[in-house]
Amino acid sequence: MSSTPRWLRFKKIHYYLIPLVALVVWWGMLIALMSAWSIQGHPIYWFMGETDQNPVYISDIGATNLQPLFISCTGFQLIFFVGTLLMEYVLRRMKKLQPYVSNKQPWFAIVSIICAVIGQLGILFVSIFNTKNFHTVHITMVGVFIFFIFWACFFNFLNSFIFGNFPQRLHPNHERVIFGKHRWANLYMVSFFFKLLWLIVAVILAAFFGYEMKHDNDSISACFEWTISFWYGLLLVFWAIDLFPSAVKHYRIRHPEQYPAFVDRHKEPMAEVHDPNNENSFQPIPKRYSSSSGVRDDTTLENSPRIPPTQRVPQPLAVPENPYDGVITVPVEEVHTRSTFDNQRRTFVPPTQTYTGEPKLHEYLRQQMQNAQEQV
């Protein structure tokens, strides 16, 4: 019996750490910038003009001698942010996480990655083109960052919704995520609602940030900017949770003695079930969902209705009953004149013959025909 507590049975150094590293770097940068500004005595920098703003914008602090810190942390966060989405895509494709259950999900993931790359390049340019010397470019890049990160999150969250909305398509390894009879009573849908709540709050904060900035309420606008920046870090926590099952699975595969009943079914073929209302309908065959999907209770991964032809188990062909098995007697008509056989092709009648099913007995050679004629 293992001495490892159940709550520690997972691979410690694994892919779920990628978003957590980005989180530590991002929040660490924010705390460092705020601490530096506080230690300096809450100064109003010369390029800010006549104002009593409190607090100042993140970009204002990043435009000072702390700009190298701003650039390096933003670039580091960029790599791990994009790496998180890319790693989720790879793990699901390699079936180390719950594979995609819809043909559209991989495309949503790719669009999310592309939007994330563009958005993260936007925040990198925000740090490079500081508000002191490149104010217009700086503000434009802030807009690029917010716009494309929104769509990156939207398509990623849409994939979470698809997982939660179609629990019957999940592999049997994931039956524990289902905790009720309603189709939405599963952890994937819970994750989606938390992400949706995060996105709604983020949009509201971003809207107030832009509104107050436009109306020159810089102190209030800066408060919203700092709030949304820390709120942004919670997204990385959600993604770390999404990647965590891969670490648990890795531990179970490496310690089979602790999980004798565990079977990795991610690489088993997916049986397709036709649904005229859904072009992406296909599912594995856990028996608990077979009645609702129209699949018989005895359906298995080997004899499921629409397994691809290359994966079907060949079934023995039924041998039709041979009608010539046994003895069949063909009567011969009486022939009174020899002229009947003048035209053998037209008037020949085979003699009484016993057939045993051998095909050669049905072939009459010329000599056999002559012998039959002499007998008559």
**Is the dihedral angle over the CA atoms 261, 265, 266, 272 positive or is it negative?**
negative
Beta-strand relationship, 354-355 and 328-329: antiparallel
pLDDT for residue 371: 74
Distance CA 238, CA 163 (A): 15
Overall pTM > 0.95:
no
Q: What is the DSSP letter of 108?
A: H
Residues contacting 196, CB < 8 A, separation 6+:
157
Pick from 127, 147, 144, 153: which is nearest to 57 by CA?
127
Give the pLDDT confidence of 45-74 residue by residue, as tens digits: 888 878 888 899 999 999 999 999 999 999
pLDDT for residue 275: 47
Give the pLDDT confidence of 88-129 residue by residue, as tens digits: 999 999 988 889 999 999 999 999 999 999 999 999 999 999
Contact 10, 247 (CB under 8 A): yes
pLDDT for residue 274: 41
Distance CA 116, CA 82 (A): 6
Distance CA 340, CA 369 (A): 13
pLDDT for residue 223: 95
Three-state secondary structure call for residue 373: helix
Amino acid, single-letter form, for residue 166: F
Burial label for 356, CB within 10 Å (0-12, 13-18, 19+), is exposed
The number of beta carbons lying within 10 Å of the beta carbon of residue 167 is 24
Three-state secondary structure call for residue 134: coil
**Tokens coding 19:** 């978003």
Three-state secondary structure call for residue 88: helix
Tell me the residue length of the chain.
Answer: 376
pLDDT for residue 316: 61
pLDDT for residue 376: 58
Backbone angles phi, psi at 306, to 5 degrees: -135, 45
Pick from 188, 70, 171, 55: which is nearest to 123 by CA?
70
Distance CA 21, CA 26 (A): 9
Torsion of CA 183, 238, 153, 220, to 10 degrees: 120
**CA–CA distances in Å: residue 139 to residues 17, 171, 253:** 32, 46, 49
Q: Which residues pair with 272 in a beta bridge?
A: 306
pLDDT for residue 287: 40
Residues contacting 104, CB < 8 A, separation 6+:
162, 280
- Below-50 pLDDT ranges, the chain: 271-276, 278-307, 327, 355, 359, 361-362
Give the pLDDT confidence of 271-309 residue by residue, as tens digits: 444 444 544 444 443 444 433 333 333 334 344 444 455
Q: Which residues pair with 362 in a beta bridge?
A: none
Distance CA 83, CA 21 (A): 11
Distance CA 163, CA 100 (A): 8
Count of alpha carbons within 13 Å of 187, Cβ hemisphere only? Answer: 11
